[in-house]
Amino acid sequence: MLSETEALAAQVKLLLDQTWSPERLALAAPVIHRVRRNLAALPALGDVHPAVAYNMGKDAAQS
Amino acid sequence: MSLTELTVTALAAALRARQASVPEVIEAYLARIAAVDPPINSFITVAADSARAAARAAQAELDGGHDRGPLHGVPIGLKDLIETAGIRTTGGSKILADHVPTEDAVVVARLKAAGAIVIGKTNTHEFAFGPTTDNPHTGRTRNPWNLECIPGGSSGGSGAAVAARLAPAALGTDTGGSIRVPAALCGTVGYKPSYGLSSRRGVFSLAWSTDTVGPLTRSVADAALITRAMAGYDAEDPGSWPGAHPDLTPPRAGRLDGVRVGIPQPLGQTPLHPEVGEAIERAIVTLQQLGATVEDVEIPATATAFDVWTTIVFSEAATYHERWLKERPQDYGPDVLYKLDVGQMLLATEYLKAQQHRAVLVAQCRAALQRCTVLLTPTTTAPAPRFNQDTVQTTAGPRTTRDALLAFPCPFNLCGFPALSLPCGLSSEGLPLAVHLVGGPMGDDALLRVAAALESALSPLPAPTHTPQT
């Protein structure tokens, strides 16, 4: 099994190609780990429809 | 009479009473910027020539009987994220250091049509992606109350400029608190209108689903005046609100009988710097003395809103910046590049899960604001931190500076609801403290009314100590 950092490094290599550097990963890794862990801890919401990015003002106004 | 001490409302009255001319106003501000701004660094570009030309034209119109309204002849600063025809617009970046737009952003065109005069472009955290305005490309903006402290961000130049009397008002943008945080730390009013009221066309995006343009001013009435002038449906901004707009007439301060103020929980239990907590308690007592009732309201989703906001905003920002990230990653400052990298690494499923939880938060906030007229929190957990200060002190120990600055504002960007930061005193170190009010869906009118009443009952802040009179 890959460690959390190894898994992230694999993803970064796929994503950033030649521009990837260990320094960039080192800066981003703590934040992505924290956000990912916290998101994973949130309950799965199944059929709850995601908010729609372009519709927030309309959605907010339609109470 | 010191022209640079006047609010927008007072300046408009002085111009109409012929107590000053528009060119005199512009010259007073240009002189003050030259004298006071160098250590503060609130402006990236001072538009002296175009402001002088606009002032002469504005005065000629007034002399000829053509009055464009209360902003006629009033100078305004613009965050350098907002495009201005013929005036460099950098986004606080190296990437756009030489970018000179050919058109004004819609909000700029509307303010100019109302008679406002662009006096300059204010500093910002690089591409608005951070709360400190400690910018490696354009220099750090310093807080006029203490030059060792951050002004907040990302609209830190606008906050510092208004506080230091370098402009009577300035525009900022708010994606997670970027108007309200600098307003709080610099002691100005900062108003994030409802999402969709002000067009973002011609404004660099940070995150499409939360970006909002709004004013930083020295009074609630001024914030309403400026927003009323620039608001309006724009068919070319997909987030623009096509329905009826709330009444943005500057409200009169009055009693608040019948107003219900909600303290959102568990957000309201967030540990605070002790002096912030005391200031908020005083604001609550003041609201009660004005006739409002104050009660707790449950909004459980606020507990996880910060991670939801981070996921959505970082993902959207990385998408907006995709081309430059591939072609010019070396041209970003390190603190912005790592956040964009985080955004690139988040998964589509994580973005959508965050949007699901956002929908839950919106529903809970809407329910709370059907019971309450406004919600109340502090704007920030602590007064302005020093540069490079990683944590701030609270009654429960240290908290990271980023969390301390964004935890209260960002949930209400996810909702799109209007929100306003209002000064409510000074700390023992002489730093501004601020209360944060949130209105219901398109409830800007009620929000402004409560804010104006509270403002009138609180003592106004003096001018910042580090801004000599000129």
Is B342's Cβ below 8 Å from some Cβ in A? yes
Q: Which residue of A has its CA nearest to B313?
A: A53
* DSSP annotation string for A29-49: HHHHHHHHHHHHHSPP-TTPP
What crossing angle do the helices spanning A4-16 and B334-345 adopt, rounded to 10°? 100
B118 φ, ψ (degrees, to nearest 5)? -75, 115
Q: Is the pLDDT of residue A63 over 50?
A: no
| Residues in B 349-378 with any Cβ partner in A closer than 8 A | 350, 352-360, 362, 366, 370
Chain A residues touching B327 at Cβ < 8 A: none
Q: What is the pLDDT of residue B282?
A: 98
Looking up tokens 């000074």 gives B426
Q: What's the rounded mean pLDDT across residues B129-156?
A: 98
| Separation between Cα atoms, residue B74 and residue B169, nearest integer Å | 9
Number of Cβ atoms within 10 Å of the Cβ of B462: 9
The single-letter code of the amino acid at B283 is A
Q: Which residue of B has its CA nearest to A56?
A: B416
Chain B residues touching A24 at Cβ < 8 A: 329, 337-338, 341
Q: Is the pLDDT of residue B470 over 60?
A: no
Contact at 8 Å (CB) between B226 and B213?
no
The closest of B118, B97, B98 to B107, measured between CA atoms, is B118
Q: Which residue of A has its CA nearest to B340?
A: A28
Q: What is the pLDDT of residue A15?
A: 64
CA B373 to chain centre: 22
Q: Under an 8 A CB cutoff, do A59 and B362 touch? A: yes
Using alpha carbons only, what angle is made at residue B12 by residues B200 and B5, rounded to the nearest 5 degrees? 95
Q: How confident is the model at residue B467 (pLDDT cuts 50, 70, 90)?
A: low
| Separation between Cα atoms, residue B210 and residue B200, nearest integer Å | 11
Name B66's Cβ contacts closer than 8 Å, sequence gap at least 6.
none
Contact at 8 Å (CB) between B88 and B94?
no
Q: What is the pLDDT of residue B1?
A: 72
Question: Of A25, A48, A56, which is closest to B356 when you measure between CB atoms?
Answer: A48
Q: Which residue of B has its CA nearest to A26?
A: B338
Which pair of structure tokens corresponds to residue B153? 């961000």
Is there a catalytic annotation at residue B79?
A: yes
| Separation between Cα atoms, residue B253 and residue B461, nearest integer Å | 18
Q: Under an 8 A CB cutoff, do B239 and A57 touch? A: yes
B46 φ, ψ (degrees, to nearest 5)? -100, 120
Name B428's Cβ contacts closer than 8 Å, sequence gap at least 6.
B275
> What's the gap in Å between the CA of B237 and the closest CA on chain A?
9
Cis peptide before B154 (omega within 30 of 0): yes
Contact at 8 Å (CB) between B76 and B218?
no
Question: Of B210, B345, B350, which is closest to A39 when you measure between CB atoms?
Answer: B350
Expressed in angstroms, the distance from the first to the final Cα of chain B is 12
| Separation between Cα atoms, residue B10 and residue B132, nearest integer Å | 31
Is there a catalytic annotation at residue B421?
A: no
B44 SS3 class = strand
Q: How confident is the model at residue A57 (pLDDT cuts 50, 70, 90)?
A: low
Is there a catalytic annotation at residue B50?
A: no
Count chain A–chain B contacts defined by CB atoms under 8 A.
130
Q: Which residue of B has its CA nearest to A16?
A: B326
The closest of B273, B281, B269 to B427, measured between CA atoms, is B273
Is A49's Cβ below 8 Å from some Cβ in B? yes
Is B329's Cβ below 8 Å from some Cβ in A? yes
pLDDT single digits (tens) B288-297: 999 999 999 9
| Separation between Cα atoms, residue B89 and residue B351, nearest integer Å | 31
**DSSP 8-state secondary structure symbol assigned to residue B163:** H
B219 φ, ψ (degrees, to nearest 5)? -155, 160
Chain A residues touching B334 at Cβ < 8 A: 27
Question: Of B307, B346, B360, which is closest to A48 when you measure between CB atoms?
Answer: B360
Question: Of B325, B370, B416, which is closest to A60 when you measure between CB atoms?
Answer: B416
Please tell me which residue, B179 or B241, carries the higher pLDDT value.
Answer: B179
pLDDT single digits (tens) B45-64: 999 999 999 999 999 999 99
Spell out the alpha helix ranges (H) of B290-375. Answer: 305-320, 322-327, 334-345, 348-371
Q: Which residue of A has its CA nearest to B243?
A: A58
| Separation between Cα atoms, residue B67 and residue B72, nearest integer Å | 7
A12-16, B291-295, B341-345: range with lowest mean pLDDT: A12-16
CA distances from B151 to B49, B90, B146, B276, B324 (A): 28, 19, 9, 17, 28
Is A39's Cβ below 8 Å from some Cβ in B? yes
B282 SS3 class = helix
Catalytic residue, candidates B21, B42, B93, B154: B154
Q: What's the rounded mean pLDDT across residues B22-51?
A: 98
Chain A residues touching B242 at Cβ < 8 A: 58
Q: What is the pLDDT of residue A27?
A: 85
> What's the gap in Å between the CA of B259 and the closest CA on chain A?
19
The closest of B43, B52, B46 to B25, measured between CA atoms, is B52
| Residues in B 194-213 with any Cβ partner in A closer than 8 A | 194-197, 208-210
Q: Under an 8 A CB cutoff, do A32 and B346 touch? A: yes
Chain A residues touching B239 at Cβ < 8 A: 54-57
Q: What's the rounded mean pLDDT across residues B235-245?
A: 91
| pLDDT > 70: percent of chain B | 99
Chain A residues touching B354 at Cβ < 8 A: 39
Q: What is the pLDDT of residue B189?
A: 98
